[in-house]
Amino acid sequence: MGTVVITGSAGLIGSEAARFFHERGLDVLGIDNDLRSSFFGKAASTRWNREQLEETLPRYRHLDLDIRDADGIERAFRERGSEIKAVIHTAAQPSHDWAAREPATDFSVNATGTLNLLEATRNTCPEACFLFTSTNKVYGDRPNALPLIELETRYEIDPSHPYAEHGIDEQMSIDHSTHSLFGVSKAAADLMVQEYGRYFGIPTGIFRGGCLTGGGHAGAELHGFLSYLMRCCLEGQPYTIFGYKGKQVRDNIHASDLVNMFWHFFKAPGVAEVYNAGGGRFSNCSMLEAIALCQEISGRELDVTYKDENRIGDHIWYISDVRRFESQYPDWSFEYDLRQTLEAIFEDWRERLGPAR
């Protein structure tokens, strides 16, 4: 069936995509140099996941390559040429806080790295489908201007608002808001993927993710809150809530459900298509609600501290409206609700931590 190139292949979404597409007959060329360990420390390394892929997937080949290396990326693509049927770009610097420490590195990874991959695709396999894992942070903090109501354990949108039933759609403006530097670098990449579709006719799909999670996530304090939260429960580590009384709401989509979106788009791709891709009304929670559920599933109390200052560009309430994707791909549907997702995270951490738990 050909080859799928997956960047960030040892990460949460990348590894899920590698297994998913490999099972469906494609060869997988994984590109990942474990920058996550540089961003967030040794505990966040994805080396273990890379080793699993190499051990269990016979047609998986790994390249320890940085997506900022334009010449290296071009060579890797030319080796496969027209055999490449899809490029799934999941590699990123994913943290608001880390981006503020090193803006140039953040932008070079998220924006320039994406440009390198688009150029390699255009030059070597222009008919390949390019799928980009974007983020809802491209909307900046504009969702915070919505009419929100404070409830006991969460914020909710005013029931009379058009977003109340299904969540935020793709028509929300990305202008006139505070994005965080991470949001800016991802917005630049998001727009570039759209333009390569429009200018050069490359089949391109942009998936603006909510909280992407699931078993296999190497959650760290600065990124991957559900995974990190569950790990803190299991290991007895303290956890800090930043702002909004812990009532900020996120929708959470399991990696398997997102990768299944990729698969449906790959089979019938469009050009410069943009989709909000989160758990929607099907799977969402506030920070307080997530803590309660993690404690229930793990059977352990969490040591929680609170800081009143929220993170720059952070959302108070964000739930994705996924109806645009559902209308174009009616055979796709969610499989993992919030509890199932957290149970998968719990089982994965319990297995990985083993006696050290």
Question: What CATH number should be reported for the domain holding residue 229?
Answer: 3.40.50.720
Encoded tokens for 97: 């806080």
Count of Cβ atoms closer than 10 Å to residue 201 Cβ: 13
Secondary-structure percent of the chain, ordered helix, strand, coil, rounded to 5:
45, 20, 30
Question: Contact 142/176 with Cβ under 8 angstroms?
Answer: yes
Count of Cβ atoms closer than 10 Å to residue 271 Cβ: 15
Beta bridge partners of 156: 149
How far is the C-alpha of 63 from the C-alpha of 78, rounded, in Å? 14
pLDDT given at position 343: 96
252 lies in which domain range?
Answer: 3-356
Question: Residue 312, class by beta-carbon neighbours within 10 Å (0-12 exposed, 13-18 middle, 19+ buried)?
Answer: middle
Residue 97 one-letter amino acid? D
pLDDT given at position 38: 76
CA contacts within 13 A on the Cβ side of 241: 20
Report the predicted TM-score, pTM, of the whole model to 2 decimal places. 0.94
Residue 259 one-letter amino acid? V
How far is the C-alpha of 284 from the C-alpha of 305, rounded, in Å? 22
pLDDT given at position 355: 58
Which segments in the chain show pLDDT lower than 70? Answer: 218-224, 355-357
How many structural domains comprise the chain?
1
